Amino acid sequence: MYELDETWVLRRYRDGMDASPELPVMSYLSASGYPVPRLGPQPPSAGPGDLVLQHLHGPTMLKSLLSGAVGAEEGAALLAGLLADLHTVPARLSPNPEDRVLHLDLHPDNVMLTADGPVVIDWSNTEEGPPALDRAMSALILAQVAVDPAHPATDDARVLVTALVPLLAADDGIPARHLADAAARRTLNPTMSPAEKGLIGEAAALVTALIG
């Protein structure tokens, strides 16, 4: 991320990933009233991996949770609310009336807490599909940290996921098939180490236990 000025920052994917699919999704969500960064004018020199985005001021939810500025119950309610609000937005392209815009990586480090409210960032994994998959993915990501004894935030993650999963389960649930889909997707994530992937089964079992 490169600061251009007080208004805009440049997000550049170093791995050559194409950022252009995110632009119409973020524009659509913004027009629908969902809290995403505003899109700025793309400079002539912008490559396919570049995005000019609103310069957001404030900590991530993760930083606020770890500092104690935001409690686990409050954080869980905020995450659940952001997912629920996102899933009120109809799919932009899919003809399936039950499909919605999905984030598929909505966790505390992808939520900025600004003076104007929370803003959801990093839409690189966005797809359209069943909302339950999005809920399952958020729960599983946190559960992976919660079951990792080597992670410095394992205790905080366990408290947060313990508060979050019942809220997600009450919001149309996390069916087993969608949790299995989320686990399969995490297994294929190229950014995760073999050790991290080895925790997916235990993390899925934790989510299942918390669903009750």
pLDDT digits (tens, 9 = 90+) for 23-45: 899 999 999 999 999 998 877 76
Q: How far apart are CA 178 and CA 187, in angstroms?
A: 14
Q: Are residues 23 and 48 in the same domain?
A: yes
Q: Are residues 50 and 151 in the same domain?
A: no
Of the three residues 54, 79, 97, the one that is the final residue of a domain is 54
Q: Are residues 42 and 75 in the same domain?
A: no
Q: Are residues 86 and 159 in the same domain?
A: yes
Task: Identify which has the larger pLDDT, 117 or 50.
Answer: 117
Q: Are residues 156 and 92 in the same domain?
A: yes
Q: Would you give the DSSP letter of residue 106?
A: -
Domain of residue 170, CATH code: 3.90.1200
Q: Are residues 168 and 122 in the same domain?
A: yes
How confident is residue 52, by pLDDT bands cut at 50, 70 and 90? Answer: confident
Is the pLDDT assigned to residue 200 strictly greater than 80?
yes
Domain that holds residue 12: 2-54
Domain count, the chain: 2
Q: How far apart are CA 150 and CA 10, in angstroms?
A: 33
Q: Are residues 28 and 82 in the same domain?
A: no
Q: Are residues 139 and 45 in the same domain?
A: no
Q: Are residues 8 and 69 in the same domain?
A: no
* Portion of the chain with pLDDT greater than 90, in percent: 79
Give the closest residue to 145 by CA, choosing from 67, 207, 83. 207
Is the pLDDT assigned to residue 16 strictly greater than 70?
no
Q: How far apart are CA 61 and CA 118, in angstroms?
A: 8
